[in-house]
Amino acid sequence: MIKFFRKIRQNLLMENLPTGQAGKTGKPAFAAGRYFKYVIGEIVLVMIGILLALQVNNWNEERKNTRIRKSYLKNLKVDLKKDLENLERLNTINTSAETEGFYLADFLDNNLMEVDTSRLMKSIIFTGFIPNLTVISATYNDLINSNNIQLFNDVELKRLLDDYYIRNNWAELFKNRILKTAWYDYRDEMSKFHSPLLNRDYFAGNNSIELNYSWKYNVEWNEMKNNKYLKTQIGLIGAYRLLIRNDLVRYTQKAKTILKYLEK
């Protein structure tokens, strides 16, 4: 490209020579003027070359950034869709476990018209089963750690992502403390009233515990009813499930909002 401009410049210089002077040495003033034009022409050519090189580099860089942005957008969408599936599954588990907790609490408070010992043994296990809310943050972490979030130049997107992926440490510590206290205390207290075989058989045998043989697990139903601390722990776990449900609903809404924003 530079050679092309240089050839044009040389032709123009030759055309501007006085008649009969083309290719010959002219007067000093003319020679100086010709040299000045040559220098100016070289400077212009260099500047044009630099500008063209910068433009080409900018085009290449923009194409590269566009590919990176599209890759991140695709991965974010995949992560969020998986999160939504997992959040729905966790909500189903939490609701089912909550139902079992209510059933066990009604038994301990003598509120059941009919007692189903098979259902109660299932309730013993699931009352203390609390789902752990997690989200897939690999793509977001890579965006932040690599500083590629700047490629989007989108303040609203960064706000939405930060709000979804950055957890409130104090709130998390508080909830984890409640969870550990309630869950561990429930597990330890409940273990006093049945054999460890109950949990082992349930989780080791594809949930196929011998529910019709409560004697095998040495379940002490009456002793459970007389344990006020156990009832307290079941109540705390039930209250904690409200926090879990609220978190699941909130994160589901946030994930849907980000997906809608990314797809617009």
| pLDDT for residue 23 | 47
190-211 tens-digit pLDDT: 999 988 888 777 777 655 555 4
101-149 tens-digit pLDDT: 999 999 999 999 888 887 888 899 899 888 888 899 999 999 999 989 8
pLDDT at 62 over 80: no
pLDDT at 73 over 90: yes
| pLDDT for residue 54 | 73
More confident residue, 9 or 119: 119
| pLDDT for residue 89 | 95
| pLDDT for residue 249 | 95
| pLDDT for residue 195 | 86
| pLDDT for residue 179 | 73
The C-alpha atoms of residue 163 and residue 178 are separated, in whole angstroms, by: 23
pLDDT tier, 185 (very low <50, low <70, confident <90, very high otherwise): confident
pLDDT at 17 over 80: no
| pLDDT for residue 35 | 61
pLDDT at 6 over 90: no
Percent of the chain exceeding pLDDT 70 equals 77
Could you state, in order of their start, the residue ranges of all structural domains in the chain? 84-263
pLDDT at 252 over 90: yes
What HEC string does the chain produce?
A: CHHHHHHHHHHHHHHCCCCCCCCCCCCHHHHHHHHHHHHHHHHHHHHHHHHHHHHHHHHHHHHHHHHHHHHHHHHHHHHHHHHHHHHHHHHHHHHHHHHHHHHHHHHHCCCCCCCCHHHHHHHHHHHCCCCCCCCCCHHHHHHHHCCHHHHCCCHHHHHHHHHHHCCCHHHHHHHHHHHHHHHHHHHHHHHHHCCCHHHHHHHHCCCCCCCCCHHHHCCCHHHHHCCHHHHHHHHHHHHHHHHHHHHHHHHHHHHHHHHHHHHC
- 190 touches 124 (CB < 8 A): yes
| pLDDT for residue 47 | 77
147-162 tens-digit pLDDT: 898 888 889 999 999 9
pLDDT tier, 22 (very low <50, low <70, confident <90, very high otherwise): very low
| pLDDT for residue 75 | 96
Q: What pTM value is reported for the model?
A: 0.73
> Nearest 5°: CA angle at 100, between 98 and 105?
95
More confident residue, 97 or 2: 97
- Residue range 2-8: average pLDDT? 53
Burial of 168 (0-12, 13-18, 19+ CB in 10 A): exposed
